[in-house]
Amino acid sequence: MAELTYRDAVAAGIAQEMERDPTVYFIGEDVAAAGGVFKATVGLLERFGPDRVRDTPISEEAIVGAAMGAAMTGLRPIVELMFSDFLATCWDIVANQIAKTRYMTNGQVAMPLVIRTANGAGSRFGAQHSQALENWAMAVPGLKVVAPTTPADVKGLIAAAVRDPDPVIVFEAKSLYAVKGEVPDGEHVEELGRAAVLRVGEDLTIAALGPMVPRAVEAAGRLAEEGVSAEVIDVRSLVPLDTATILDSVRRTSRLVTVEENPRLCGWGAELVSIVAEECFDDLDAAPIRITTPHVPVPAADALEDAAVPSVARIVETIRANLG
């Protein structure tokens, strides 16, 4: 096991797949010589050369459009969009073309394309550079959506995304880029659509995603000091969604809390609550609880951004209040 930062695990995952498969290449703004604006792709240009690691113009439409054409002709492109917010500028290509091509050609044209993008708050970048947008992508049929939390998951889920025949959007938490963790040596591939149970508990299930996962784990630790046993699940993959693991947990604990950075309206937690209500309503001892960011643009001011995004304290206080 090697200890890597989250950002170094990004480069490790891309390098693993480029080494394994010569059809894999990587493009994006400042990803080559500069190593990415978040320094997540340092060393790839030197290792694989300018034919396979290329800087692009500042045009998200051009980046994903070129990658779509390459995927249709047999390559496996990895695209970096600097901020997930910039998906808005190329959403027509992503949602109306990339997501639908395999379906509309009856499987004759595969779309093995990966879009990586830095997602979420925590860096004081303001409303146009700090959104958590997993719910946008989750709502589009034909897209697969993952959000790794740990360096090991970063490497393994990027690898799985590259190998998948469908387009996959990988939402990387910019607030976690500096976090360190153990990453398996050699080839490491995770499974798309598989949640991870990080902490076993009996009194309630906490389902969290991305940077909310370590906050949920810390909150569970504080609750344990008060005699509350919380099970924590890292959802990891929204499409496909591991409903089996989540439903099994809720059936045992009889309570569900979702913690998400998405704005409250139409977040992934609402979908999860709906599934739980349909599938195991009779197992619930109380109504599910959603802990979210309010339905407001992300503030740039430090104190306001911190107040908007779910904190460990808010998770603990909300659960404590609902348990009585």
Residues labelled catalytic: 129
Coil, strand, or helix at residue 136? Answer: helix
| Ordered DSSP codes for 208-261 | E-TTHHHHHHHHHHHHHTTT--EEEEE--EEETT-HHHHHHHHHHH--EEEEEE
- From the number of C-beta atoms within 10 Å of its C-beta (0-12, 13-18, 19+), residue 94 rates as buried
Q: Which two tokens stand for residue 314?
A: 């808010």
Residue 46 and residue 34: Cα distance in Å, rounded?
Answer: 11
CA gap 234, 195 in Å, rounded? 6
CB neighbours of 285 closer than 8 A, spacing ≥ 6? 254, 255
Structure tokens at 218: 């810390």
How many helices (H) does the chain have, and how many strands (E)?
A: 12, 14
Nearest to 289 by CA among 312, 321, 313: 321
